[in-house]
Amino acid sequence: MHGGDFFFQAFVYLAAAVISVPIAKRLGLGSVLGYLIAGVAIGPFALGLVGEEGQDVMQFAEFGVVMMLFLVGLELQPRLVWRLRGPILGLGGLQVTATAVAAAAIAMFAGFDWRIGVAVGLILAMSSTAIVLQTLQEKGLMRTEGGQNAFSVLLFQDLAVIPILAVLPLLAVATGDGHAGDSSHETATWIGGLPGWGRGLAVLGAVLAIVVGGRFLMRPVFRFIAQVRLREVFTAAALLLVIGIALLMTQVGLSPALGTFVAGVVLAESEYRHELEGDIEPFKGLLLGLFFIAVGASIDFRLIGADPGRIAALVFGLVALKFAVLFALGRAFGMGLDQNLLLAFALAQGGEFAFVLFSFASQNGVLPADVTASLVAVVALSMALTPVLMLVNERLVQPRYGTRESTRRPADAVDERHRVIIAGFGRFGNTIGRLLRANGVGTTVLDFDSDRVELLRRLGLQVFYGDATRLDLLRAAGAEEAELLILALDEAEEMRKLVETARKHFPHLTILARAFDRPDAFDLMEAGVQRVYRDTLDTALRVGVDALRLLGHRAHQATRAAARFRRHDEDALRELMAARHDRAGFVNLARQSIRDLEDAIQADLADEREDRDLGWDAESLRRDFGGGPER
């Protein structure tokens, strides 16, 4: 590729991302689906702005996957894996095994060789880590039982990529003519002439060499480089390590992505892990975006258009198969109906690792080109359907079936009535409840974290376990007789659901709601909550007051400035709320609010300096007229 071509390709990719992703986010589709749509638009089967045959696209995808897997491995600490070993090995292991066996059986029933069936089953068992985790986080579902189990399954799938990459070449040994792939590919590696068992040993030996070398060589090298105290050199060394190991793995016939993943895992316990994450993190989102754009661009719409019925049937079959396996396993592990449905809908798609594995399997002669092309399209389409499936679960399925079995543990029976109900008793609600209790005000406390409930009960606090968004539980807690409802939940989406339920069924309640930031405060105010409290505002103002005092400002001057800031910010919040949907008006109003605040505080400072010059400052008056000490 010439220099001009490279810059043009880079421009097209970045322009597609900048245009499509904000639109997709605004429409509620999520950023991942926006990247996929952008890739479809610029791909060789639409506008044709990149890659006549998709080669340029896959170069971008390969680099994106390499960096993505390095970061995944870097975050995969062995201690985390050990702590979650139960759900990871149990639910995750059974999901991969059951899905692979079922898909392999279907492929063999369709007439394919058993080796092809096993390869297809292993690859299709993967789900999309990037799409699922981002969707769960955006919807505030990561801390639910379904969200935690989905994370465990995805973690096992990430770990399973290593043995799958090692097994795939073995499946190509005895296919037809006994060759594992294209001869040109074989001669480009060090192990091209080895028998099948020799290749397997070489693969395992390469992985073992990276692990052992990382333990004894990487840390001293990074320690030496860190002493130079040049951040760019440290980043360059990290990239050198990643690319060098990827090159080594390529020479033994494995995907470069496997090498970077192993390198990340080796460095996960290093004392330089956080510095590496900080250096590479800015590239993570962009590279993942480029990867998903490449996925969208690689979808062969001519193949889909040639036989749309078959492709649609394969997509539906893949989603239905994975949904059924996940739902059955969730029931076997005792999950409630709503959380089980969340798990099944969230993971019922193919994953980004499938593209790496399909490419690797094709290069090694495991899968025919026509099978690979069809399945790449099927996996990409199933990934694009994930936001739609999650929306169906949220809007149609959960309201109808989600309240039958909320959690594995039933809600507590609430046997007391008070004037105040507190929903959520974490660090925020806990402080409120203790303050009210110390002043003789009784409260009925509801919390959905069973571990927290047990701990608080051991501390002598009366807390009831249950989901405060449930109407029946609010009734049992005495919402019809209570006066105040204090919202201190940890998830913004749950807060909005509770506000909607309370305002509809208990309109007499005065709601005091915690907000995490301004957008969250706007949402609560729009839902009808008049008393909204941002939980970071007081702490930030306290820090500001202390900073002013340490810089030589008088205590009353700093406190007065903070009080002025609070009053001004509360007034501005309501004005900005009215203009939140007018972007230009919102920006202008926010800028004017900042200027007005600075002018007001500067005017106060000028008045105080004038009073001090005249001898009318607070300290002088107390000294002259016998006032008490400043508070």
Q: Inform me whether the pLDDT recorded for 500 exceeds 80.
A: yes
Is residue 370 over pLDDT 70?
Answer: yes
The CATH number of 412-535 is: 3.40.50.720
Q: Kindly tell me if the per-residue pLDDT of 296 is higher than 70.
A: yes
Write the DSSP assignment of 416-478 as a string of letters: ---SEEEE--SHHHHHHHHHHHHTT--EEEEES-HHHHHHHHHTT---EES-TT-HHHHHHTT
Chain centroid offset of residue 335 CA: 22
Measured distance CA(363)–CA(357) in Å, rounded: 10
pLDDT at residue 73, rounded to an integer: 72
CB 92 within 8 A of CB 320: no
Mean pLDDT of all residues in the chain? 76
Report how far residue 511's alpha carbon sits from residue 514's, in angstroms, rounded to the nearest whole number: 10
What's the whole-model pTM score? 0.56
Classify strands 464-465 and 443-447 as parallel, antiparallel or unpaired: parallel
Question: What is residue 612's predicted lDDT score, i.e. its pLDDT?
Answer: 59
CATH class of 55-401: mainly alpha
Pick 609 or 575 by higher pLDDT: 575
How do residues 221-254 score in pLDDT, each as one tens digit? Answer: 877 887 777 777 877 777 777 778 777 777 776 6
Cβ atoms < 10 Å from Cβ of 163: 12
| Closest alpha carbon to 266 in 551, 73, 2 | 73
User: CA 433 to CA 488: how far, in whole Å?
Assistant: 10
The lowest-confidence range among 161-170, 185-194, 321-330, 473-482 is: 185-194
Give Cβ neighbours of residue 580 (< 8 Å, ≥ 6 apart): 522, 586
Q: What are the structure tokens assigned to 612, written together?
A: 């001090």
Q: Which amino acid is at 212?
A: V
Tell me how far apart the alpha carbons of residues 112 and 301 are, in angstroms, rounded to a whole number: 24
Q: Six-digit token pair at 588?
A: 């202008």
pLDDT class of 77 with cuts at 50, 70, 90:
low
C-alpha dihedral, 54 to 57 to 63 to 64, nearest 10°: -120
pLDDT given at position 625: 47
Q: CA–CA separation, 599 vs 621, rounded Å?
A: 27
pLDDT number for residue 254: 65
Q: Is the pLDDT of residue 6 over 50?
A: yes
| pLDDT at res. 263 | 74
d(CA 531, CA 546): 27
The pLDDT value recorded for residue 327 is 92
In contact, 199 and 191? CB cutoff 8 Å? yes
Contact between residue 287 and residue 64 where contact means Cβ atoms under 8 Å apart: yes
- Per-residue pLDDT of 604-617, as tens digits, reads 767 666 555 555 55
pLDDT in tens, 406-424: 434 555 566 677 888 888 8
Is 479 a residue whose pLDDT tops 50? Answer: yes
Give 295 or 498, the one with higher predicted confidence.
498
pLDDT recorded at residue 207: 75
Every domain range in the chain assigned CATH 3.40.50.720: 412-535
The pLDDT > 90 percentage for the chain reads 6
- Enumerate the β-bridge partners of residue 513: 487, 532
Residue 148 pLDDT exceeds 50: yes
Determine the pLDDT at residue 29.
Answer: 65
Number of residues written out for the chain: 631
> Are residues 358 and 164 in contact, defined by beta-carbon separation less than 8 angstroms?
no
Encoded tokens for 400: 């109808």
Give dist(CA 296, CA 380) in Å, integer: 7
Band the pLDDT of 463: cuts 50, 70, 90: confident
- Contact of 34 with 16, CB cutoff 8 Å: no
The pLDDT confidence band at residue 102, using thresholds 50, 70 and 90, is very high
Grade residue 72 by pLDDT with cuts at 50, 70 and 90: low
Per-residue tokens: 283: 């590239």
Mean pLDDT: which of 229-243, 313-327, 580-594 is highest? 313-327
Residues of the chain with CATH 1.20.1530.20: 55-401
Q: What is the pLDDT of residues 338-367, one digit of tens each?
A: 888 888 998 998 887 787 788 778 877 788
